[in-house]
Amino acid sequence: MPKNLPANIVALAAVGLALWIFISTVGNSRIQQGIQAQQDQILALQSEIQTLQQQLQSQQQQIETASQLNTQIGPSILNELASLQIKNNNIALSVFLQKHGIQANPPAPQPTPVPATKPSR
């Protein structure tokens, strides 16, 4: 048996272990690169989601503002349109109002006072 056999076995084991560590390191590096790429995608998607949420919030505020205007000002505008329709006898405006469920009725005519008759003698 050769005199250096145990040293050769140890040297061969060290080389094998070094090779295994090198291969593991390269594999881990690739895995970390994949994870980093996924994290970058996640950050990009989160940024896009945040932008979309801000747009949605802005649209919701516009809708709320329009709803408040509709509730506060809408009826008075429709009443004014109905008054104009009656005043001007505008058929197109009447059709528009009816289309939106508003029936403009002219005010009831005021009864004309009947002149008092003088009693005859």
Say which DSSP state 100 is in: T
Angle between helices 74-88 and 5-72 (to 10 degrees): 40
Q: Is residue 113 part of a domain?
A: no
67, 82: one domain: no
Q: What is the pLDDT of residues 69-80, one digit of tens each?
A: 888 888 888 888
In terms of residue numbers, what domain contains 66?
7-72
Q: What is the pLDDT of residues 90-101, one digit of tens each?
A: 888 888 888 878
Q: Is residue 26 part of a domain?
A: yes
Confidence of residue 121 (pLDDT cuts 50, 70, 90): low
Q: Is residue 59 part of a domain?
A: yes
Domain count, the chain: 2
Q: What is the mean pLDDT of the chain?
A: 87
65, 82: one domain: no
Q: The pTM is what?
A: 0.50
41, 15: one domain: yes
Helix (H) or strand (E) holding 79: helix 74-88
Angle between helices 74-88 and 91-99 (to 10 degrees): 150
